[in-house]
């Protein structure tokens, strides 16, 4: 695992590798441009190496450059890119709603690894058409759970010491509109809470394995 860039000052990187996007040098935009250059060089060298034929590379973000906003969860800040590369990976693009928890399952599938595992993600490479997506986001002490429905993107936000909040997210305007609890509020909140608590529970109790 390699971490390509930092969201924090002083944004240090070697001189002479890229044409700076802006002045002064130590800015987040220049750091991101250098990270893009470094990843490109890494992949270029990997392609020329013997292990390229037996390796799958996953490149993904956790959030965008700044996670902040005046909503309970700034959902637009969690709209991130992901890239899976490998010698035998056929080019395709997944445009549905997905989550980082789907990526390990997808990578194993693309590697041809079959078997049982305790991961709760989905294999994005073999989902049936029109599968409705879902995603988890954490912002400070709030956890946002978003689900695609036939009428839009439902959101429930779990808040420490407060009742759950509900809303609808408009991807076009990048705006979360709070609303009264929907008819499926109880089920939506339960699914969100299960996805928030399960990973930590399994890890702390050393139960992250098959029965």
- Residues 90-134 have pLDDT tens digits of 999 999 999 999 999 999 999 999 888 888 999 999 999 889 999
The structural domain count of the chain equals 1
Residue 27 lies in a domain: no
Does the pLDDT of residue 160 top 90, yes or no?
yes
Residue 210 has a pLDDT of 80
- As a whole number, the mean pLDDT across the chain is 92
What is the span of the domain harbouring residue 146?
Answer: 49-204
- pTM recorded for the entire structure: 0.87
Residue 37 lies in a domain: no
Residue 26 lies in a domain: no
DSSP H or E stretch at residue 190: helix 185-204
Residue 42 has a pLDDT of 96
DSSP H or E stretch at residue 30: helix 28-47
Please state, in angstroms and as integers, the Cα–Cα distance from residue 88 to each residue in 56, 60, 69, following that order: 9, 19, 41
Residue 11 has a pLDDT of 87
Residue 25 lies in a domain: no
Residue 30 lies in a domain: no
Please state, in angstroms and as integers, the Cα–Cα distance from residue 10 to each residue in 6, 7, 22, 24, 28, following that order: 9, 9, 15, 11, 9
Residue burial 123-155, b: 16+ Cβ < 10 Å; e: rest: ebbebeeeeebbbbbebeebbbbbbbeeeebbb
Q: Are 144 and 187 in contact (CB under 8 A)?
A: no
Residue 62 lies in a domain: yes
Does the pLDDT of residue 66 top 70, yes or no?
no
Residue 117 has a pLDDT of 85
Residue 196 lies in a domain: yes
Q: Kindly indicate the confidence band of residue 178, based on its pLDDT and cuts at 50, 70 and 90.
A: very high
Residue 143 has a pLDDT of 97
Residue 84 lies in a domain: yes
Residue 102 has a pLDDT of 96
Residue pLDDT, tens place only, 11-42: 889 999 999 999 999 998 999 899 999 999 99
Q: Are 157 and 146 in contact (CB under 8 A)?
A: no
Residue 118 has a pLDDT of 85
């Amino acid at each position: 695992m390699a971490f390509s860039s930092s969201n924090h000052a002083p944004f240090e990187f070697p001189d002479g590798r890229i044409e700076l996007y802006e002045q002064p040098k130590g800015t987040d935009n220049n750091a991101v441009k250098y990270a893009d250059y470094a990843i490109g060089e890494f992949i270029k060298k990997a392609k020329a190496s013997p292990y390229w034929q037996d390796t799958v590379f996953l490149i993904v973000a956790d959030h965008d450059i700044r996670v902040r906003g005046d909503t309970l969860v700034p959902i637009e800040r969690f709209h991130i890119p992901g890239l899976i590369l490998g010698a035998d990976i056929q080019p395709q693009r997944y445009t549905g709603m997905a989550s980082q928890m789907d990526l390990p399952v997808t990578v194993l599938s693309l590697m041809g690894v079959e078997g049982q595992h305790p991961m709760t993600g989905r294999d994005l490479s073999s989902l049936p058409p029109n599968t409705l997506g879902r995603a988890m986001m954490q912002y400070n002490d709030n956890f946002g759970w978003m689900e695609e429905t036939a009428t839009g993107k439902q959101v429930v936000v779990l808040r420490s010491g407060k009742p759950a909040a509900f809303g609808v997210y408009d991807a076009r305007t990048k705006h979360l509109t709070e609303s009264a609890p929907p008819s499926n509020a109880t089920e939506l909140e339960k699914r969100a809470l299960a996805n928030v608590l399960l990973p930590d529970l399994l890890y702390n109790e050393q139960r992250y394995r098959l029965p």
